[in-house]
Amino acid sequence: MALHVGLFLLAGVFALLYALIVQRYRYWKIRNIPTLPASFPLGNFGALRRRSPAEVSTELYRQMDPKERFYGLFITLKPAIMVTDLDLIKTVLIKDFNYFPDHGIYRNERVDPISAHLFCLEGAKWKSVRSKLSPTFTSGRMKAMFPVLHEVAGNFRQYLQTQLTAEPTELDLKDCCARMMIDNIGGCAFGIECNSFREPNSAFRRTGQLVFDSPRYSALATSVLTLYPAIGHALGLKMHHDEVIEFFTELVRDTIAMRERSATKRNDLLEIMLELKSATEAGLTMDELTAQAFGFFLAGYETSSSNITFCLYELALNEECQERARACVLEALRKHGGMTYEAIADMEYLDRCINETLRKYPPLPVLHRLSCKPYRLPGTDVILPAKTKLLIPVYAIQRDERYYPDPERFDPDRFAPEEVAKRHFSTFLSFGEGPRICIGQGLGVMQSRVGLATLLANFRFRPGPTTPIPLVYAKNALTLQNNGPVQTLRKYPPLPVLHRLSCKPYRLPGTDVILPAKTKLLIPVYAIQRDERYYPDPERFDPDRFAPEEVAKRHFSTFLSFGEGPRICFGQRLGVMQSRVGLATLLANFRFRPGPTTPIPLVYAKNALTLQNNGPVRLLVEPL
């Protein structure tokens, strides 16, 4: 009898739980918000166990009615909203930034002080640190960092020359580009010569591999932790491996101590932050300084490395584009008398190639925003509560044929000025947008320019026997990465989806829907930047899409690879500069072609939060 009663009670508990779950998944339907079917326990994101965030967000994006401006989704049992309307994306990232100022990413300063870097900070703390770091990325600072990037690119060229024979040689360019970025960041951020080409297993390199290749948690687990931070705080969960925390804590502490003893001053990020630390009482504490130095490493290492790798991969598959880029590089070098800061700023077609790469491979496939107060969805009566997650599917938008015809085609001329002018602002968000746009964007692009220019001026690149075609994205990576070596920002935005979290109720413009505070808002950057409505033939790599006249044609929100608004990538300029330096160096010295094992198309890593290829990308490299 007791057994029967126990079974009856257990059945009753399960029935109640089932009813609560079913009711929870009716959250958006009750509010007359369009939604997609969700299933327990992972909501609409169960596929993250098998596929990358870029692919999952794009699949969701393509299931949505293009006439709808947003869709209600679920991350586990938490309601989130994915915004697909370009005007609404711009509104959320810029005009209504005060409702969605935060990324809503888990951090725990108490046990993991380096987790409190700029990307994860929220509210007044983020605003304070961002304002202190902004002087780091002025054009004058970028120019001062250029000699480091130039020297590292030269070391890269010499290394490649030692690896090549008279015949085309297959090299893992993903590994090579990662070494270059380690040396760039070591020099620009910490004033350290890492010598990764001579010492591939240096402590700096091993730590970078641990952060990006073996993260403490999968992308899915990180998402769950972000949604339920109280659990993480109660259990004292760290975001990073103990070895990573110890390495950066000791690195910053020891470097500062050495400089204080010797009164040494260097023109690097750490020196600038030290000046901030001692300038006023409101300067950075040692823990804050360490966290921001780590954030600089995070932003500059993988994103620029992947950008150069993806660009070389596309140029290897598109030899005509490669020859045009090389001609652009060589003409700039001739005009300015060599690899100078002015020369890399005068490589217009190379910039188109970088932007088209960012379109196809945005570093963050999805931008995340978290509401800090209730927000009425424009044009509705729906109010999103505070702490609602908002997603912007950057990867999907930048591969939407409505914006980029034939979106899988690599076509740099999409970024010719007249083409850019035709598109909406929000069709290119590879660096984000608004106040939270990538702060190091300029340095990142400069790294890519220098690296690519150096390589293209000295080598040719073709796909090799093992080049993966298509690429496979890493499923556990935080940024968009190839899942393995690549032998070689519209197509590959670093964050495939932008996340925002509402901090107060927000009325969705043009509706009566009010999102409550704490509603997650998703902006599918990857999907938008591959939407053929904005980029015809979006899979084609076409740098001329970013010619000024082409950019002017598109909506603001069709390119969000760095995010947008006040939370646009803080290091956007640094990231761009790194890409410029790296790509310029490579394109000036080498030719790249696909090889027999080059992945075509790329396959994304399924567990990565940022867009990454799933495996090596091998290209044939020829010296010029």
Question: In this predicted structure, what is the pLDDT of residue 13?
Answer: 76
Q: Higher-confidence residue: 343 or 134?
A: 343
Confidence of residue 509 (pLDDT cuts 50, 70, 90): confident
Q: What integer best gives the mean pLDDT of the chain?
A: 86
Name, in order, each residue with C-beta under 8 angstroms of 181's C-beta and a sequence gap of 6 or more. 300, 301, 302, 304, 305, 447, 578, 582
Compute CA distances 67 → 71, 72, 84, 85, 540, whole Å: 11, 14, 9, 9, 25
Which of the residue ranges 270-284, 376-390, 478-492 would you say has the lowest mean pLDDT?
478-492
Confidence of residue 175 (pLDDT cuts 50, 70, 90): confident
550-582 tens-digit pLDDT: 887 888 788 888 777 777 776 677 777 778 778
Question: In this predicted structure, what is the pLDDT of residue 490?
Answer: 63
The answer to whether residues 308 and 614 touch, using CB atoms and an 8 Å cutoff, is: no
**φ/ψ of residue 240, rounded to 5:** -125, 155
Confidence of residue 487 (pLDDT cuts 50, 70, 90): very low
Residue located via tokens 């700039």 = 332
Compute CA distances 52 → 55, 73, 480, 604, whole Å: 5, 17, 9, 6
Average pLDDT (516-536) is 89
Domain ranges of the chain: 31-623
* CATH homologous superfamily, domain 31-623: Cytochrome P450 (1.10.630.10)
pTM: 0.76
State yes or no: 353 annotated in a binding site.
no
**φ/ψ of residue 623, rounded to 5:** -70, 150
The answer to whether residues 479 and 347 touch, using CB atoms and an 8 Å cutoff, is: no
Question: In this predicted structure, what is the pLDDT of residue 481?
Answer: 66
Which of the residue ranges 43-52, 126-135, 392-401, 598-607 would you say has the lowest mean pLDDT?
598-607
Question: In this predicted structure, what is the pLDDT of residue 478?
Answer: 52
Q: Higher-confidence residue: 62 or 191?
A: 62
The rounded distance, in Å, linking the Cα atoms of 483 and 310 is 12
Which parts of 164-285 fold into alpha helices (H)? 173-190, 203-213, 219-227, 229-235, 242-262, 269-279
Confidence of residue 485 (pLDDT cuts 50, 70, 90): very low
Has residue 132 got a pLDDT over 70? yes
Question: In this predicted structure, what is the pLDDT of residue 479?
Answer: 64
Average pLDDT (174-189) is 89
Confidence of residue 56 (pLDDT cuts 50, 70, 90): very high
588-617 tens-digit pLDDT: 888 888 888 888 887 777 666 567 777 788
Name, in order, each residue with C-beta under 8 angstroms of 213's C-beta and a sequence gap of 6 or more. none
Has residue 20 got a pLDDT over 80? yes
The rounded distance, in Å, linking the Cα atoms of 273 and 288 is 10
- Range among 17-26, 57-66, 483-492 rated most confident: 57-66
544-555 tens-digit pLDDT: 888 877 887 888
What is the percentage of the chain residues whose pLDDT exceeds 90?
Answer: 36
- Distance from the Cα of residue 119 to its chain's centroid: 11
292-308 tens-digit pLDDT: 889 888 888 888 888 99
391-401 tens-digit pLDDT: 999 999 999 99
**φ/ψ of residue 296, rounded to 5:** -60, -40
Could you tell me the two tokens for 277? 């630390």
b/e per residue, 417-432, with b = 16+ CB within 10 A? bebbebbbbbbbbbbb
The number of helices, as runs of H, and strands, as runs of E, in the chain is 22, 27
Q: Higher-confidence residue: 366 or 1?
A: 366
Question: In this predicted structure, what is the pLDDT of residue 278?
Answer: 63
Under DSSP, is residue 500 helix (H, G, I), strand (E, B) or coil?
A: strand
Question: In this predicted structure, what is the pLDDT of residue 486?
Answer: 43
Question: In this predicted structure, what is the pLDDT of residue 442?
Answer: 86
Average pLDDT (204-223) is 79
Name which of 608, 623, 601 is nearest 471 in CA terms. 601
**φ/ψ of residue 104, rounded to 5:** 70, 40
Has residue 480 got a pLDDT over 70? no
443-475 tens-digit pLDDT: 889 999 999 999 999 999 988 878 888 877 766
| Alpha-carbon torsion angle 432, 434, 440, 446, nearest 10 | 70
What is the percentage of the chain residues whose pLDDT exceeds 70?
Answer: 93
Secondary structure (H, E, C), 119-181: CCCCHHHHHHHHHHHHHHHCHHHHHHHHHHHHHHHHHHHHHHHHHCCCCCEEECHHHHHHHHH
